[in-house]
């Protein structure tokens, strides 16, 4: 059997395709918060591929929801939201950034 995926000696069956987007501006990306660790203030940074509502929630290691930032309607592009810590004690937490196109999670450390 010969074809575009054959070397002439072996049969090749194509099972699936992997799609790689060559334009990174079309992807929802979450960057590490900074500073990390922090005590009083940190910044959640992300890229939106389109205008979208953004929800940021903070969870304890146990999975308990401990804080929520106000929902924002933001334009496509790079953004940074400020989080002023008034509730979290020293420890490790997860933050979740949710848009209509997906959810991303990051880990942050609250120090003294």
pLDDT at 26: 83
95 or 112, higher pLDDT = 95
61-99 pLDDT, tens digit per residue, is: 999 999 999 999 999 999 999 999 999 999 999 999 999
pLDDT at 1: 47
Closest Cα partner for 107 from 48, 40, 42, 55? Answer: 42
CA distance 75 to 4: 43
pTM score: 0.76
pLDDT at 64: 97
Domain ranges of the chain: 24-110
CA distance 33 to 47: 13
Q: How far apart are the first and last CA of the chain?
A: 68
CA distance 41 to 83: 6
Asked if CATH classification 3.40.50.1100 holds for the domain at 24-110, the reply, yes or no, is no
pLDDT at 16: 65
pLDDT at 112: 81
Mean predicted lDDT score pLDDT of the chain = 86
């Amino acid at each position: 059997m010969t074809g575009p995926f054959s070397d002439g000696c072996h049969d090749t069956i194509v099972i699936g395709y992997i799609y790689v987007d060559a334009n990174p501006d079309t992807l929802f990306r979450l960057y590490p918060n900074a500073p990390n660790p922090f005590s009083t203030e940190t910044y959640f940074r992300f890229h939106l591929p389109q205008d979208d509502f953004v929800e940021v929630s903070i969870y304890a290691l146990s999975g308990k929801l401990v804080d929520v930032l106000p929902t924002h309607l933001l334009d496509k592009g790079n953004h940074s939201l400020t989080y002023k810590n008034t509730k979290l004690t020293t420890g490790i937490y997860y933050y979740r950034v949710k848009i209509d196109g997906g959810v991303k999670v990051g880990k942050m450390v609250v120090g003294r």
